[in-house]
Amino acid sequence: MTAPPRLFEPVSLRDVSLRNRVVVPPMCQYSAEHGIAGDYHLVHYGRFALGGAGLVILEATAVVPEGRITHGDLGLWSPDHGAALARVAAFLRANGAAAGIQLAHAGRKASMQRPWEGNGPLSPDDVARGDAPWPVVAPSPIPLDEGWLMPTALTPAAMADLVAAFAAAARRAEAAGFDVIELHAAHGYLLHAFLSPLSNRREDAYGGDRAGRMRFPLAVARALREAWPAGKPLFVRVSAVDGLEGGLTLEDTLAFAHALKGLGADVIDCSSGGLAGSATAARVRRDYGFQVGFAERIRRETGLATMAVGLIVDPRQAEAVVAQGRADLVAVGRESLADPNWALRARTEFAAWPRQAGWWLERRARDIERLGPWRPA
């Protein structure tokens, strides 16, 4: 008898049970109004629950208005924001998926254009449309690139305020009914910018060596763990490597993961790159499952659960990642955008048809292979 697929085994993280190991990861939609989720978000995220995913994590959600990437980002800095998100979380849970939300601050990548409007610094045309820029912050006054806003270096007092803002957002996420929060410490946004020696040139306790660069991100993670219920898991998304000379290395990320484990983090979501340029511009060679190796090594060397992400497109590919112990969860992002029913369809790849039907379907498969795709006459 063929063993059942590991990909569709239920998994428990603290007191939260996932019906399977398929995760729809955060993918920004840039479609909020003043940070408030609307009908678009309910329908967009709801379809993944109906499509069979075990966990659906909402896009990067800013903990303060200035932490948004664009004017279209979700926010969670007030009770009104939490109330709008609550109906999304309720729909996900009512339809079998655990509800997750990613808490974020964009740092020096804040106050920029939506991707389809240029994906760069805000222009006079954007201002005329009503998207005026706002001041941005970072660990050091180093702009993302030529023509981008010059960030102000955060003071320790301002950092303390942001730690409190992250904790407050976690409490609002709990009130809104979310099962999982993910801390965004990747893709060049604020916490990643602190971790990388290329963007953190501070000479105080929050810069310099690896321990100094980790200090503020770990303070945020600690505050989230304390604010978030003990029975609910905390994920952390990392850029495992910068992929740039002199940048963040996997050894740095392993040290960060060990420290996160000590604070009570449960899952490391293993991405890469994004420090310079687009958040989705990986600096490592893109191939199928190109970031799975990061998840595998972090899992092996820290004992933490990990989530693999990056060009995971085929059900058997995803099954192999889990079955071989390379990661505990598999994030299926853009494939889920193309097919919100990816998880349901994936199950059919492993279905054992009753023998009375199976021989008919095997014959049909041979005929289809011989004839090729159907085309109209």
Q: Which residues does the annotation mark as catalytic?
A: 189
With respect to CATH, is domain 6-352 assigned 3.30.390.30? Answer: no
pLDDT of residue 1: 36
For residue range 27-44, list pLDDT tens digits in order: 999 999 999 999 999 999
366 backbone dihedrals φ, ψ, rounded to 5°:
-65, -40
Q: What is the pLDDT of residue 67?
A: 98
Domain positions in the chain: 6-352
> What pLDDT is attached to residue 352?
61
Record the tokens describing residue 303, joined without a space.
């004992």
- pLDDT of the residue at 283: 63
The two tokens of residue 347 are 């199950």
What pTM, to 2 d.p., does this model score? 0.92
What CA–CA distance (Å, rounded) separates 193 from 248?
10
Q: Which residues of the chain have pLDDT under 50?
A: 1
Q: Which two tokens stand for residue 250?
A: 């996997």
Q: Encoding tokens for residue 105?
A: 């601050």
Q: What is the pLDDT of residues 233-266, one digit of tens each?
A: 999 999 999 999 999 999 999 999 999 999 999 9
Helix (H) or strand (E) holding 250: helix 250-263
